[in-house]
Structure 1
């Protein structure tokens, strides 16, 4: 019992820091960058009553496991102090780059790290403070790419190839999967994102006459269920 109590006491600084960082929030669950615009904006708020934070922001690549900043975007201000009960607007600016195609949508990650300030009574003491990072998807949608996400989902084809389920995203947009079912049963091997132009075979058996149901996340972060598709 004494060992358990000591373990819980040791975790208290972690819980305190995590709860404190939760006070810094971003104003969206995803960021859509319209290529026809000069920038995309994201609000960052500090809901804490007393504590200021140091906020650092940058854009990284999606799906690489590497959160290093990319050269194709700059975020301003990249580093700033956010006082209690205040908010600030991050400006994300596309700077170009040959690795960002203009004929289809690209997916990146928007990173916002909040670092808690040390209070006067904590100075000179051994205090554990943790900076927590919020990451949301950043979709760069070139000006020449037309059509809605609903239209894009309608362009995703589902077929049975050699007894396996296969999809083909013929659209120019990313489709973020919330749930994928076959004959009402969830497909646990479903990908998180169907990329533009991606064609892939999933390790699940399917045949003509089976029903595929796709629920996806729209531009506003809501879950939408697409019309049922019957495999031919």
Structure 2
């Protein structure tokens, strides 16, 4: 009798700890002056894990072989022993074509391939192959401002006629906004509809109801360490 083994690729949108092999941190910053950046992986399995790593430019459907990115990984394929760690080095290639006045974004991927169990060779079972992605920001050396200043520089403007709130990012950094509040009114809930503002860009939020008792806006962003910070701004 022939038995079927199904391999299912899971794209995680939940916390990274759900994977057997996890990435330390939720984002990677690559300063332009660095010769390499280390990414720490950890295997929380009680068995060895085989991990493939690669970088893509934002299209999760492309295969690692089809990607053309200005980085190389060392090693790109590694076996991690039970309850051990492994460092993956990100090494720049030709970054001369990347923007000098703003950040560029890529994605760091790992594919966690669990080991086969010889005891299950003659049994039907599912083998889950887990893919995890985190953002990789390439940061030029001389930007117009520091990252911590940029995060508190967002601008907010309300169009009362259609209850539309425009969020403007006048900085050279990517900024992820988790939540926006005006008094007790929420534009969206933290973690559910988070938006990432590109450098020097704007985004409009529809059906935003302003709390008429205040002109202050409170908003949450994700900083370089992956922590949530709250800032206030005055509505324009």
Q: Alignment RMSD, CA only?
A: 2.8
Residues 170-189 of structure 1: pairs in structure 2 closer than 5 A: 170-188=170-188
Which ranges of 4 or more aligned residues in structure 1 deviate by more than 6 Å? none
Whether the aligned pair in 1 keeps the contact of 2:170 and 2:201 (CA below 8 Å) is yes
Larger relative contact order, structure 1 or 2 (CA cutoff 8 Å, min sep 6): 2
Q: Which range moves more in the overlay, 88-97 or 160-169? A: 160-169
SS at match of 1:150: helix
State how far apart, in whole Å, the 1-side matches of 2:18 and 2:151 are.
Answer: 36
- 5 Å-filtered alignment, 1:45-124, equals 45-49=42-46, 51-62=47-58, 64-68=59-63, 69-97=67-95, 100-124=98-122
Give the TM-score, by structure 2 length: 0.78
Residue 102 of structure 1 and its aligned partner are, at CA, apart by 1.9
Report the counterpart of residue 4 of structure 2 in structure 1. none
- Tell me the CA shift for residue 187 of structure 1: 0.7
Counterpart CA distance in 1 for 2:215 and 2:28 is 35
Distance change in 2, residues 1:66/1:96 (3 Å)? farther
Unaligned 5+ segments in structure 1 are 1-12
Tell me, yes or no, if structure 1 residue 216 matches structure 2 residue 209.
no
Once the two structures are superposed, residues 56-104 of structure 1 have per-residue CA deviations (whole angstroms, 9 ceiling, x without a partner) of 1111123x45454342222111112112122110011222356631210
What is the CA–CA distance in structure 2 between the aligned matches of 1:217 and 1:48, rounded to whole Å? 29
Q: TM-score, normalised by structure 1?
A: 0.80
Deviations 1:33-69 (A, max 9, x none): 11110111111111222x111101111123x454543
| Unaligned residue ranges in structure 2 (runs of 5+) | 1-6
The offset of 1:112, in angstroms, is: 0.9
Residues 180 and 215, structure 1, Cα contact 8 Å, conserved in 2:
yes
Report if aligned partners of 2:101, 2:144 keep a CA contact under 8 Å in 1. no
How far apart are residue 124 of structure 1 and its match?
A: 4.7
How many Å separate the matches in 2 of 1:212 and 1:218?
19
Deviates more, 1:76-85 or 1:161-170: 161-170
The separation in 2 between residues aligned to 1:168 and 1:99, in whole angstroms, is 26
**CA separation in 1, counterparts of 2:72 and 2:108?**
11
Answer yes or no: is 1:166 the counterpart of 2:166: yes
Higher helix share: 1
Aligned length: 213
